[in-house]
Amino acid sequence: MWWTKDGRSSRPFLTLGHIPVGMEAFQASDDTQWDYIKRRIDDSDYYVLIVAERYGSELKGKSYTQMEYEYTVAQGVPTVAFLLEGGARKTWAAEKVEFEKKAKLERFRKLYEKKLVKYWRNKDDLAGKVAMAIRRYDRGLSGGPPF
């Protein structure tokens, strides 16, 4: 789970007793960025993905976020994806949209949608859905992460 630079997105996780991993916490290292990310994923109990209207920084034509997701799935780490809902996408602030990467984002969203996803409309809706998913995971409902 990555969080915003001001840490707001991490508070619900900390309150629930979880420690989110984000780029802002990365230490100086001799590792490549990708190797470091893979190690953090390997040490994770689950992976929470939140997608709005940005594809993200790329390495060799693919976003780090997409590479993380694909690696997480390949490693068998439980994942949950929260995608911005269609109506909210239409009214999303233009400065928060990477228009030049729209086609890549759409392909990536389709990749996520091969699994069960939750859709969110605003930050309050998202916070509630993420907190519920984490609580259900902690309770071990449905034999594992009920994402």
Per-residue pLDDT reduced to its tens digit, 7-43:
445 565 666 666 667 666 666 677 788 998 898 899 8
Task: Tokens for 120, please give them.
Answer: 């969110």
Of how many residues is the chain composed? Answer: 147
How do residues 80-125 score in pLDDT, each as one tens digit?
Answer: 899 999 999 999 999 999 999 999 999 999 998 988 899 999 989 9
Cα end-to-end span (Å), the chain = 14
> 54: which residues sit within 8 A by CB, 6+ positions away?
96, 97, 98, 101, 105
Which amino acid is it at 59? L
How do residues 52-72 score in pLDDT, each as one tens digit?
Answer: 999 999 999 999 999 999 999
> 92: which residues sit within 8 A by CB, 6+ positions away?
52, 53, 84
Q: Which pTM value belongs to this model? A: 0.78
